[in-house]
Amino acid sequence: NAGVTQTPKFQVLKTGQSMTLQCAQDMNHNSMYWYRQDPGMGLRLIYYSASEGTTDKGEVPNGYNVSRLNKREFSLRLESAAPSQTSVYFCASKADISISYEQYFGPGTRLTVT
Amino acid sequence: DAKTTQPPSMDCAEGRAANLPCNHSTISGNEYVYWYRQIHSQGPQYIIHGLKNNETNEMASLIITEDRKSSTLILPHATLRDTAVYYCIVRPDYGQNFVFGPGTRLSVLP
């Protein structure tokens, strides 16, 4: 099993450009999450999806949109990138809201917006 | 979710026990204590969690005080590979998301 995979690993964008970060998990998990981590900071939740077909805002959703394409895939879209969105983005998944305590994290996408 | 307080950094000699403290004085009765770590900007890794009782697994031990207002993560024999940022998180079992604060940067020294 690959666990949680993210693409791309690195990306540089110009201000105003758009892009989609991809995340996939092969553990048959119901819940999936997108976090961002700024230098020297902890992780902040952007959006999450409790199950296929549902998405909800986290702590810092402004400037982002998400799509839970199917049970495996959860994408994060930046419609008009801004320098403040320069960060490392982590995707995570969890088996179920009620029976699993552990979130599994992907390796991250390092995004720079100039 | 209850707020946690951790020291920003700690050092530990290789082979010795690393004891990482966490204060969570406003923890509620249904909130668990979780520990994750993040090695060199990789994705966070789950270590251990507990509610009231002390817990042990192959990675670490978790000691929770009787009043549950603080806890300690113990790495019994720290190695250089344990150098990482350690996050203490409290949240209800049914909660959807984890709130990661700045954590404790543990440096294991040879």
Q: For residues A71-97, give the mean pLDDT.
A: 93
B94 touches chain A (CB under 8 A): yes
Question: Left, alpha or beta for A28 (phi > 0: left; psi -120 to 50: alpha)?
Answer: left
Q: To the nearest whole angstrom, how far is the Cα of B78 from the nearest Cα of chain A? A: 23
Give how far A42 is from chain B: nearest CA, Å.
Answer: 4
The contacts of residue B24 (CB under 8 Å, 6+ apart) are B2, B3, B4, B5, B31, B33, B68, B69, B70, B71, B88, B90
| pLDDT given for residue B1 in this prediction | 57
Q: Which of A97, A101, A105 sits opposite B96 (nearest CB)?
A: A97
Cα(B100)–Cα(A75) distance, rounded to whole angstroms? Answer: 21
Residue B97 confidence (pLDDT)? 66
B101–A contact, CB cutoff 8 A? yes
The pLDDT value recorded for residue B71 is: 96
How much is the average pLDDT of B9-35?
93
When comparing pLDDT for A50 and B12, which is higher? B12
Mean predicted confidence (pLDDT) in A72-88: 97
pLDDT-derived band of residue A103, with 50, 70 and 90 as boundaries?
confident
What is the pLDDT confidence band of residue B67, given thresholds at 50, 70 and 90? Answer: very high
Residue B14 distance to chain A (closest CA, Å): 25
